[in-house]
Structure 1
Amino acid sequence: MVPLDKTLHQLAWKTNSIFFVFDPSENNFHYLSDNASVSFEIDVALIMKDPAVLLDRIFADDRVRVLEEFSHIGTKDCIEADFRLLFTPNQPVKWLHIKACMLQGEPALQGCIVGFAEDITSRKEIEMYLTNTHAQKDVALQILGHDIRSPIGTISAASSLLERSVCHEDLKNIEPLFRIISDTCQNALNLINDVLQSVYWDAQNTVKKKRRIDLVDMVENQLHAYRLLHQDQKDFKLFSSTRHVYIRSDQVRLQLILENLLSNAYKFTKRNGTIAVDLQEKEGKVQIAVKDDGIGIPDRLKPMIFQKFTNARREGMQGEKPTGLGLHIVKTMVEQLNGHIWFESGEERGTTFFVELPKKGI
């Protein structure tokens, strides 16, 4: 080795970087530090013989981007790119950062590409962790901003009715109103706790608290609250294939799914309209249908209905302001419970949302 080779050899191993000088006109390396065999898991002698084997190690999507960068190397001072290396399916992804330029003014190396590549796997993992944490924080704030409104509205309405009942000495309504306020507060606290967990854990991996739930009782309790709080405005009905429909699942998520679907049906159903929930047991599954005879969904809005901050959002029949988050949250939570959601709707013919969940749950 010449002294320069020895210097680059030491620098490469101490900095965990790969140094190279590549001649594109001859398609070969004038120099390649031998630690390339560690990063690419290919013998350096094989790389020197056939440089194209390096491209086979790069993820297909990244390969296109890296080649695109190198196509501009003669028009830029230098080019940079991050890319992933492809190994066996069980091996973790490895990230490299490459920076290179074209040599000018050296007759022996005119037109050669000189540069280095460094292993940035640890840095990328930190970046992805921070990005994911930031995204989860945003999701948490969006869910809280959307779904805390509903229980606060319920508590406010129940408090107004309670005050009216006390003034008129209508004592028979006081106890159920107190129960609604208490249950709603507890559900809201459960929601806050569950969502705050998702700030620190990926939403798909957040611990789901499985328990045996009677859907008939859960839906009846929610419909009872609507009937009591919105007297003489709409007709709420419950149909079920059996007296009890049991499912093993996450209670908080199920309540949020039902509350959002009922709230959505309520907003888009005219006064004196009908909202019905139908529970059907199937082989290994439970199907929940929330049906209204409201204004329906126009065809042009249907493809966007589950999108976050969707352009399909509309004001409710009483001027309720939409956020464009409700049905996106419902779809996310249904999928977290290994379920499936779809809908049928026609303008002025109402809408039915169907949720199918496994009986044994998550």
Structure 2
Amino acid sequence: MPELNPELFCRIGDSSRDIFLIFDVKENYFSYLSPAFEPIFEIPIDHVKTNPSLLLTFVHDEDKAHVLDCFNECTHEDASHKYEFRIVCKEGQTKYIRVSVYPIIIDGNLTQLSGIVEDVSISKHNNFHIEKINARKNTALEIVSHDLKEPLAMISMAVSDLLSNKLFNGQERILKSLTFIKDMCERNILLIRNLINHEFLRSSEVEIRKERTDLVKEIKDVIGFYQHAELNLFRNFEFVSSEQKLYAKIDSMKFMQVINNLISNSIKFTHTNGNIKVVVKDKVETVLIMVSDNGIGIPKHLQPFLFERFSIAMREGLHGEDSWGLGMAIIKSIVNLHDGTIWFESMEHAGSTFYIEIPK
């Protein structure tokens, strides 16, 4: 943004519900702050116009370092930027603020920053609720599918045993009924797996939208749902984090589906009363997430093909759960979209650990 018409900019700002601003970089003051500043920040404009550092006292404690990094970035780069952070107003009310910053360059030098500040609290809270509902929906689908598939698979196996032993040879009515039961079980197992795969595939096709997110909170919420259901799943779930809060830019809906899918795979290949553990570690510039189990592991000859679509590495679960050969390929694609890496260590009959490392 090399030029700015101050008169037009200020006229628009005077009538807008968003904050319009012009910040003088060298003089360190706001040459313009629109009237919308006062209802959003709930303090008089005059208090901060010539004392911009006062604004930092309103920034949420967890976001102050982030805001300072953002300010340093936009005052040292000839590029527009968009940032989000939280402020704490009177009586402890937290608001979510989105700032769009545009540099004004004169004679090759950055002289001013113009910008627009929006209060996006309502949309952020709505997104949080949607993401939480979506994460719980995915977890619930996996849990329900396990609860339904396992008994259906056992019924199908029992019926197959009766048919193969020829106990009812010559009794056509009984044989027809047993065949009908077996077919219905297999059809419903297929229906359940199709439903899970469809949800995961559809999510991976939607455009990615990364936002600064507390990874610990999101993953803890997913694991908590599994821990609540662990008596029905007959597995032990554990969550460990090196920090109480860890922020990273992710698409929460998609990334939590990755975590869900890895946990679902662990359930599939871990014996009854086995252990599944999720660990989150802060590595300064990146976050490392580990999903491990003490299940049957991955045979060495299949390991090189695990992340391929329709891979030869796909196997049935311990209770006959289907594998469509797409899950791990989609997981890798979503991790790649987050500029991250995924790898694993596994030993047959000793379990597996999957590692995901993403930049903060």
TM-score (norm 2): 0.46
Larger Rg over CA atoms: 1
